[in-house]
Structure 1
Amino acid sequence: MAIGLATVPGTVRNDATVPSAADDVAARRAARSAPGSAATVDDVVHGQVLHVGGRLDVHTVPDVRAALHAAVDAGTGDLVVQVDGIVVADATGLGVFVGAHRRAQRTGRRLVLREVPLPALRLLRVTRLHLVLQVEDAPAQAVDRTAVRRARAEALLLGPGRTGGAQNSRESTSSIPRKAS
């Protein structure tokens, strides 16, 4: 079932491009500036796999909700929803996935969101919905934040031209001087 086709600048696909902060801003501006733009729902495997794309807001969610409910009712097992092209514009965009998740639970199924773009993933994390909804296949562009923080901290501590080791050149890090023997 195809509802409409929308291309949204700033969305993340499975290619090698890494979105920047400017891409995030562009996606949010596009979401705000194009009211009522179409969302897409493609039934990839009937009752098992759906592809949802486009802008999810109060105007487009009813069609997406109907398609998700029909897919939940039609199949068994996990319902995988590929959301690589979505832009969540308001709370109803998140609410449609929560509603489909609850409906799937009542029928003994599980809703799995796959290929979530970074702006939508950030929204899921801020609202703590990533703990409720099953989010699979974190984007390849997402890097380990701990490793990035550690590298930045080392770069700040070492500074330019330093090779490592203790920050001070003394062996002891104590501020109390040692007694001469």
Structure 2
Amino acid sequence: MHAPVLDLTLTGPLDVHVAADVRLALAAAVDAGSGELLVDLREVGPVDATGLGVLVGAHRRAQRAGRTLVLADVPDQVARLLFLTRLDRVLVLRRSA
């Protein structure tokens, strides 16, 4: 398998105020390629429940398209939220090499 290409970088908060735009960007990225979709989260700020829903929705869309959504360089605060909600068991998380 080829190494994933950095397909998308998210910055700032991932909350109800930006959810629709992020959802559209992730959907376009999923639909535009094949294989792994690497989403760099290193610059993402606070994430709320709506933001988590966007990530789960993108994960499901990627699965339906035969792709794997990979969340890269997840900030500690976001990783803790994913752990507490047990989404770390569903979503694929990866640190940069």
Q: TM-score normalised to the size of structure 1?
A: 0.49
Query: Does 2:16 align with 1:58?
Result: yes
| Deviation beyond 6 Å, 4+ runs, structure 1 | none
Greater helix content: 2
3-state SS, counterpart of residue 113 of structure 1: strand
Q: How far, CA to CA, are the matches of 1:111 and 1:88 in structure 2? A: 20
3-state SS, counterpart of residue 66 of structure 2: coil
Greater strand content: 2
Q: TM-score normalised to the size of structure 2?
A: 0.90
Higher RCO, Cα 8 Å, sep 6+: 2
Match of 1:123 in 2: 81
Deviations 1:120-160 (A, max 9, x none): 0000000000000000018xxxxxxxxxxxxxxxxxxxxxx
The residue correspondences of 1:73-152 to structure 2 (distance < 5 A) are: 73-137=31-95
Matched letter for residue 73 of structure 1: D
Matched letter for residue 118 of structure 1: D
C-alpha contact 1:81 1:114 (8 A) present in aligned 2: yes
Structure 1 spans left out of the alignment, 5+ residues = 1-44, 139-181
Output the aligned Cα RMSD: 1.7
3-state SS, counterpart of residue 27 of structure 2: helix
Q: Kindly state the Cα deviation for residue 87 of structure 1 after the two structures are TM-superposed.
A: 1.8
C-alpha contact 1:88 1:94 (8 A) present in aligned 2: no
Mark the structure with the bigger radius of gyration: 1
Percent of residue pairs identical: 57
Structure 2 spans left out of the alignment, 5+ residues = none
Between the two proteins, the alignment pairs up a number of residues equal to 93
